[in-house]
Amino acid sequence: MDFQVVVLAGGFSKKLVPIVSKEVPKALLPVANRPVLSYVLDLLEQSNLKDLIVVVEGNDAAVRIGGWISAAYLDRLHVDVAPVPEDIGSAGALRSIAHHLTARDILVVSGDLVSDVSPGAVAAVHRRHDAIVTAMLCSNPVSGPAESGSSSTKDKTKKPCRKNIIGLDPSRQFLLHIATEAELEKDLRIQKGILRTVGEMELRADLMDAHLYAIKRAVLLEVLDQKETFQSLKEDILPYLVRSQLKSEVLSSSSPQLEENGNGNFNPQNKQISQSHILANASNRGFHELYPSCLDGSASARRTHKCCVYIANNEKYCARLNSIQAFSDINREVAGEANHLSGYSFSAHNNIIHPSAELGSKTTVGPHCMLGEGSQMGDKCSVKRSVIGRHCRIGSNVKIVNSVVMNHVTIGDGCSIQGSVICSNVQIQERVALRDCQVGAGYVVTAGSEYKGDSLAKKEK
Amino acid sequence: MGAQKKSSAAAAARISDDPEELSRVPLQAVLLADSFTTKFRPITLERPKVLLPLANVPMIEYALTWLESAGVEEVFVFCCAHAKQVTNYLQCSQWLSQPNFSVATIESHNSVSAGDALRLIYERNVIHGDFILISGDTLSNMSLNRALQEHKERKKKDSNAVMTMVIKRSKLSPVTQQSRLGTDELFMAIDPDTKQLLYYEENTNHLKGTLSLDKMLLIDNPSITLHNDMQDCFIDICSPEVLSLFTDNFDYQHLRRHFVKGLLVDDIMGYKIYTHEIHSSYAARVDNYRSYDTISKDIIQRWTYPLVPDVLLFGNSATKLEREGIYRATEIVQSRSAQIGPLTVIGNGTRIGNNTKITNSVIGKGCSIGSNVLIEGSYIWDNVTVEDGCQLKHSIVCDGVVIKSGSVLSPGVVLSFKVVVGQNFTVPAYSKVSLLPQPTKQDSDEELEYADNNSDIETSPIAGAHDNLNGELTSDLTDMQSSAAEELGSGGAGYIWSICEGASEEEWRHSVAPVPAEKLAEISQTIDDDLDFSYQDGNAPASSGELKPGGLSDSDDDDVDANNDSAYFEKEVEATFLRAVHENVKVDHVILEVNSLKLSYNMEFAACAGAIFYSMMKLALGTPYNSSAELYNAVVNVLTSWKRLLKSYLSGKDEEIEIILKFEEMCSELAKELSPLFTKILCFLYDKDMISEDAILDWESEKNYADESDRVFVKQAEKFLQWLREASEEEEEED
């Protein structure tokens, strides 16, 4: 398909402290006992997109992720892992790997996406409209962040946050407006020019930008090249492209003469020309062409470019692991409603208990639960809606509800763990009660202690 | 037969009598027979706008016919300017004697706006239920049933839904909008599900490239639709609350600009406005000359059916539709060689000479048109004389005008009543000619809107005189004629109104003449520029989250305001404190005074604490000292003596942190002398229990990520902080 895929896998996200650690960068956080990155990679593989560049912030993380990928995807995908410095933003990351980009269109995916929407469909829309950028949108996760279904009504009276404000044309094919994060705080400002041209714009706050974009390579490179201050793909480049779609500056500087452009023979001299060619060749669809046509002849020289959207079906699952809340939600959902994503086949009880796992007597593991390889549980335990990793040792009379327990965790007798995330190698001594806590890797929770809504981690010295 | 129909209708009504029907009030409508604008001047100086003919039928006929057919039973015609003419007209018409349809007039002489009109109607207490509010220049053939039903259902569910506005989709692009109705472009935001109107902006200012929507809109609604492709039909279904809202808000004048905006922006009592979109029916309002032209053409092309000349019987003359959209009244005397082009209406008793060519025009009753005349896209009213060899292009010619031979009317000309154009005279484009001199007071547009009515009243006696004399020239009129003669060539009569500054560029917008090509190009150019402008916005070196310049400056202003406020507040607190020190005011009283300051400046407790601490330090600094030790003593003195005052504002950690931050700020900026004493004073505050260790430690951690320069004092206090930390850890261990 001549698409090159860039997976932005991030590094050690500050937002996810303490559940990320030096050993476990964000991309390797387990979702239903598989690294989150594997969901994106599998998804791409299903769409037959096998030529990938995985961009990782920081060398340590790159080494770890690279190691995991080469072990897991040997002979399946062709993956380059490119380490980039930390905190350079997504645009910076793309800038630093720009010389690796060769295909006509680039698919940029965030490494924390857990979804079953086919990237191939996005790519197809992109090609069909000959758009310069196509963004994938999906409806806000229903059961997602903060169990929104029930609490959103309560939130409304407080201070609800709208993460995305997106303007679409009436046919819902074109992206007309996208608010950046800073703009969300303020009153909305809509370009009248675009509104005049389209006539009607639908503003949606219930769509989520899935951070999966198909972008024309030439455009991407030029924007990266010309706008050195741009830091983020979502916050800078995308709004810029959307804003300028009716007056494409990306081409205003170019000479009108057209030149035959073949894929892959770009060089800096003819880059702009070929780009204008790409854009001018855009097929005659939508308002972009309608507009100049109602002006007098001279104005028809106006160049436009298309920013499209692919709106995923409501039934599709789509979530991003970008907060601790999202981490537990996604784990719960992948083990539950969206279990087709996990790639495991569920038992009759709607749960997965690895054959090598041992359960004590009168221990129950409810539906929508997972119990990893080699984990042991004592007597009279109860597990509900939780994911438990490999080689955990869990004592007797332990209650685990709505929680994620990673690998090699030891839990003493009589513990009660609710709504918490327990990272690898944590030791929880007897009679501990945790509620809505995160316990960082290697932490020891002393016997009998009780925590609520705390974040426990080893002090980094 | 009429009686039979009536009785059967009554019977039907009786059958459907149920409790709800019993309390049913007849459907009422308010028809504003005054547009409260000056767009049709100079014609409206002599005749009210609603009586101006559209395809040879006065506008008010269309409005009343529609209201009647739409099932309205009671109409209140509100007349203001030229009220007498309107009432006279109605009395002569058949409207006052219709069964099941009563028309009553309400006269007023001092209303200057739709707001005043509605307030007056409220006072009269004639509206008892939902009513239709239109102005007399509205033309429609829509059926009100659906819209009314929707309005009633909404009203039942939510008593705040007070108004339903009828809108119609129009073609996109401001170019066509401008060229069609000549109205300003309109931006609306509508909730796609409930059809609630959320935003309404008539854009008169083309410079602003962005539309600014309240962020709360999207919080309340998951999705909204922005429209630039809708046209406001100026047909509103209102609940009686609307009238009382106008009365409550006596500053509401304009229906859209004040009332709709007021409801949407100020969110008064949560009243809501909804929209009803019509698809296949016609609705439009004659707002200016251009829409007069457009709507006349729509009528001729039968978009407004059944409101078309051959169906709408007006007067006694029947009009017949011939092929190519030519409407001819009976008794037309037409020369064999005259060519009547397509889409033309010719009124009763008109005579047309040899070789005359008429296309796309409306000719009124009793006109006499000479030979070799060319009439194109013009509106000629009744009893007009056009002599041989004239050319009329895209003009409006009112009753009784005489155009002498060989004259030319350039596009966009408006000749008001009884003007005489001299021989071989060319009337320049866009000029407006009247027998009445131009009113001298011409203010800015906005004021005109309201001032206009007064001037109408001023001139109405003259207008009345015209009326009474019904076409005969009085002596004073001839006087006028002679004085005005020179402007319109030999034998001409009338003043060419000078076009006031600024409006000259706008003239083409509202004229009957088609928009000149270069203006179209200009419009598209401005749109380009708009794009450029908004593009520039985005072009600003936008690193993540960079704001558009507009937004930036806004917020700057806000910040500046806030800063000013807090600066004033600090000064006031300082003054209060110093007075307290010098006059020995009791601490309780000082607290009272500071509290009142806090309320009036809308400040937090933290700000009070900061301000008081600041004044204390200033006081200490004000005492003479030679060494830092002396200064320290002074500080300690002040702090001990006013400890209670400060304590009363230190209710929590936040306030304490505020004090530390304030102190830090002082040390680094205002009073460098204090900086060596920072730690010492901090210790003192801690010892005296004014600042808790939590606050200090929080302050430290807050500074963790700050620049090195910001951390000077953290470093200075490092030892003390260290000690505090150890102490707290010990405590924890003891626990």
The upper half-sphere exposure of residue B389, i.e. CA atoms within 13 Å in the direction of its Cβ, equals: 9
Q: Do residues B264 and B199 lie in contact, with contact meaning Cβ atoms separated by under 8 Å?
A: yes
Q: Which of B174, B212, B535 sits opposite A247 (nearest CB)?
A: B535
What is the rounded CA–CA span in Å between residue A333 and residue A347?
Answer: 16
The CA distance from B543 to the nearest CA of chain A, in Å, is 5
Sign of CA dihedral A336, A337, A341, A343: positive
pLDDT at B319: 81
Categorize the per-residue pLDDT at B193 as very low, low, confident or very high, splitting at 50, 70 and 90. Answer: confident
Give the number of other Cβ atoms within 10 Å of residue B173's Cβ.
24
Comparing alpha-carbon positions, the chain A residue that sits nearest to B213 is A188
Q: Is A379 helix (H, G, I), strand (E, B) or coil?
A: coil
Task: Extract the runs of DSSP E, i.e. beta strands, from B179-307.
Answer: 185-190, 197-203, 210-213, 223-227, 230-238, 272-278, 283-285
Mutation to test the A interface, candidates B180, B206, B218, most A Cβ within 10 Å:
B218
Gap between the Cα atoms of B34 and B114, Å rounded: 8
Choose from A163, A169, A202, A203 for mutation: most chain B CBs within 10 A.
A203
Per-residue pLDDT tens for B299-310? 888 888 888 888
Cross-strand pairs, A139: A207
Q: How confident is the model at residue B180 (pLDDT cuts 50, 70, 90)?
A: low
Dump pLDDT digits (tens) for A195-244: 777 888 888 888 888 889 999 988 888 888 888 888 888 888 888 888 88
The alpha-carbon radius of gyration of chain A (Å, integer) is 24
| pTM beyond cutoff 0.80 | no
Q: What is the pLDDT of residue B588?
A: 83
- How far B265 CA sits from the closest chain A CA (Å)? 13
Residue of chain A whose alpha carbon sits nearest to that of B172:
A199
pLDDT band at B446 (very low <50, low <70, confident <90, very high): very low
Q: 10 Å Cβ neighbour count for B364?
A: 24
Residue A290 with chain B: CB contacts under 8 Å: 172
How distant is the Cα of B613 from the closest Cα of chain A, in angstroms?
Answer: 33
Nearest CA to A163 out of A184, A135, A187, A146 is that of: A184
Of the listed ranges A284-298, B240-254, B378-392, the one predicted with least confidence: A284-298
Residues 6 or more apart in contact with residue B339 via CB below 8 angstroms: B355, B356, B357, B358
Q: Do A198 and B228 touch (CB under 8 A)?
A: yes
Q: How far apart are CA B126 and CA B117, in angstroms?
A: 13
The verdict on a CB contact (< 8 Å) between A205 and B543 is no
Interface contact B499, partner A, CB < 8 A: no
Q: What is the pLDDT of residue B529?
A: 59
pLDDT of A283 > 80? The answer is no
Check if the beta carbon of residue B420 is closer than 8 Å to that of residue B481.
yes
Q: Residue A409: what pLDDT?
A: 92
The region of weakest confidence among A347-356, B241-250, B516-525 is: B516-525
The reply to whether residue B545 touches residue A249, judged by beta carbons under 8 angstroms, is: no
Closest approach of A139 to chain B, Cα-based (Å) = 11
Q: How far apart are CA A32 and CA A20, in angstroms?
A: 16
Instruction: Please indicate if any CB of chain A lies within 8 Å of the CB of B184.
Output: no
Chains A and B form CB pairs within 8 A to the count of: 168
Name the pLDDT band for B627 (thresholds 50, 70, 90).
Answer: confident
Residue A23's CB is within 10 A of a number of other CB atoms, namely 13
Closest CA relative to residue A61, chosen from A114, A15, A102, A8: A8
Name the pLDDT band for B132 (thresholds 50, 70, 90). very high
Whether chain A has a CB inside 8 Å of the CB on B173: the answer is: yes
Q: Does B207 touch chain A (CB under 8 A)?
A: no
Q: How far is the first Cα of chain A from the last one, in angstroms, to the nearest whole number? A: 49
Segment (H or E) for A276: helix A271-280
The reported pLDDT for the residue numbered B493 is: 81
Q: Mutating which of B277, B532, B543, B701 best tests the A interface, going by the most A Cβ atoms within 10 A?
A: B543
Query: Tell me: the pLDDT tens digits for B662-695?
Result: 888 777 776 777 777 788 888 888 887 778 888 8
pLDDT digits (tens, 9 = 90+) for A150-195: 333 333 333 344 567 888 888 888 888 887 766 666 677 777 777 7
- Chain B residues in contact with A243 by the CB 8 A cut-off are 534-535, 537-538
Confidence band, pLDDT 50/70/90 cuts, at residue B23: low
Q: What is the mean pLDDT of residues B135-157?
A: 88
Chain B window 528-587: which residues touch A at a Cβ cutoff of 8 Å?
528, 530-532, 534-535, 537-539, 541-548, 550-551, 555
Evaluate if residue B263 carries a pLDDT over 80: yes
Of B521, B535, B550, the CB nearest to A249: B535
pLDDT given for residue B524 in this prediction: 66
Mean pLDDT score of chain A, rounded to an integer? 78
Q: How many angstroms separate the CA of residue A333 from the nearest CA in chain B?
A: 24
CB contact at 8 A, A347 and A359: no
pLDDT tens-digit series, residues B26-72 = 889 999 888 788 888 888 888 888 899 988 888 998 999 899 888 88
- Read off the DSSP letter of residue B24: P
- Most A CBs within 10 A among B226, B277, B524, hence the mutation to make, goes to B226
Q: How far apart are CA B551 and CA B538, in angstroms?
A: 12
Secondary-structure percent of chain B, ordered helix, strand, coil, rounded to 5: 50, 20, 35
The answer to whether the CB atoms of A160 and B219 lie below 8 A apart is: yes
pLDDT value for B379: 93
Whether residue B400 is predicted with pLDDT greater than 80 in this model: the reply is yes
**Residue B312 in tokens:** 């709408």
Buried b (16+ CB within 10 A) or exposed e, A306-334: bbbbbbbeeebbbbbbbebebbbbbbbbb
pLDDT value at position B386?
A: 92
The total number of residues shown for chain A amounts to 461
Per-residue pLDDT tens digits for A243-261: 887 766 554 333 333 333 3
Instruction: With CB atoms and an 8 Å threshold, state whether B545 touches A182.
Output: yes
Over residues A147-160, the pLDDT tens digits come to: 333 333 333 333 34
Specify the range with the lowest mean pLDDT, choosing from A20-29, B315-324, B503-512: B503-512
Q: What is the reported pLDDT for A151?
A: 36
Give the orientation angle of helix B549-583 with respect to helix B587-601, to 10 degrees: 160
The CA-based dihedral angle spanning residues B577, B582, B588, B594, taken in that order and rounded to the nearest 10 degrees? -20
Residues of chain A with pLDDT > 70: what percent?
A: 80
CB spacing of A244 vs B210 below 8 angstroms: no
CA-based torsion, A264, A270, A272, A274: positive or negative: negative
pLDDT in tens, A95-114: 888 888 888 899 999 888 88
DSSP reduced 3-state for B376: strand
CB A49 within 8 A of CB A120: yes
Give me the count of residues in chain B.
Answer: 735
pLDDT of residue B357: 92
**Chain B residues closer than 8 Å to A196 by CB:** 172-174, 185, 228, 527, 530
Option in B213, B218, B544 nearest A232 (CB): B544
Pair A59, A371: CB distance under 8 Å = no
Find the mean pLDDT for residues A306-319. 86
**Residue A433 burial class via C-beta count within 10 angstroms: exposed 0-12, middle 13-18, buried 19 and up:** middle
pLDDT band at B237 (very low <50, low <70, confident <90, very high): very high
Q: pLDDT class for B5, splitting at 50, 70, 90?
A: very low
Asked if residue B646 lies in contact with residue B609, where contact means CB atoms within 8 angstroms, the answer is yes
